[in-house]
Amino acid sequence: MKYNFKKLLTLNVFIICSIICVACNKNIGENKMSEIKDDLYMPSKEELEEISPQSYNFELAEEKGLLKGETFSKKYLRMQSLYKKALEQYLMKKIDIKKYDDELANSKLHFIPGDKDKRCFYQVYDYMGLTFFYLRNNIHIEKLDSDDLELLKKSEENYDYAISEDLIKMVERTYKNIIMVSFEGDDEFNKYYNAIYGNTINGERIIPNTALVLELNAQPEFDKKGNFVDWPKEKTKNDYIDDLILRLEQEYTDKLGIPVEVLQY
């Protein structure tokens, strides 16, 4: 089968550079979000295809019956959304992301959440329900083995989107591989390259391909002319966020045993 998404060209570039670029460069308003059932959110195939570059393994997805034609099937998208929902529920308990979110929300510095109409793909399709933080990793469920996929399939086929204890245990066991940006069948090469994540505050960030990546979306306070209301205060807020991110990354890296990085959108 021939695949679009410029996969072969992208693969060649990756191998030469040993770096992957993962962009979050498209705003998606609330009206673009598809709600399925029991708070299960599923992106459209078109939205998923716009992630640049494609870190998904389409050949592997085809082998496991997760494609329809040259793109993902609705079954894949629902199963992926269910896995993401379970992963974010697991992370909320494991590393208590809400603690740092509340620290910003309750600060006397008055941090302002990002504009809802300018949220990127990853924040729109988020299950944690936080004010500032959301998960930034892609979810590659095609890497799951047949037994783990079957667990997702049973829930999807029965329209059962509640997060079971079995699903949480499966996610806990598999998520480090599922979020990893990697080349199928090249384990040695996967140890030595990084991913480039694009974001609007600090430009591009080089991040280990094994990292759990979170993103923080807070905006400055502007007047009607688009100028800072209080630039010295914004500088203080920026310094505060920088310190918070360092604390968060260190704490969560220690708890999870993998690199944890935070981007600013």
| Residue of 30 and 239 predicted with greater confidence | 239
Give the gyration radius of the chain's Cα atoms: 19
pTM, 2 dp: 0.83
In three-state form (DSSP H/G/I as H, E/B as E, the rest C), the secondary structure along 154-180 is HHHHCCCCCCCHHHHHHHHHHHHHHCC
Q: What is d(CA 228, CA 234) in angstroms, rounded to the nearest whole number? A: 8
- Mean of pLDDT over the chain: 82
Query: In the chain, which ranges are E strands?
Result: 19-22, 67-68, 71-72, 112-113, 133-135, 194-199, 203-208, 212-216, 218-219, 260-264
Going by C-alpha positions, the residue among 36, 55, 54, 56 that lies closest to residue 44 is 36
pLDDT tens column, 121-169: 888 889 999 999 999 999 999 999 999 999 999 998 888 888 999 999 9
Q: What is d(CA 160, CA 229) in angstroms, rounded to the nearest whole number? A: 48
pLDDT of residue 43: 75
- The strand pair at 260-264 and 212-216 is best described as parallel
Whether cis (ω within 30° of 0) applies to the bond prior to 53 is yes
| Residue of 188 and 102 predicted with greater confidence | 102
Mean pLDDT calculated for residue range 189-203: 68
User: And the tokens for 86?
Assistant: 């379970």
pLDDT tens column, 40-76: 777 776 777 666 545 788 889 999 999 888 788 888 9
180 CA to centre of own chain: 11
Sequence ranges of the domains in the chain: 7-264
In sequence order, what are the residues at sequence separation of 6 or more whose Cβ sits closer than 8 angstroms to the Cβ of residue 167? 82, 86, 151, 152, 155
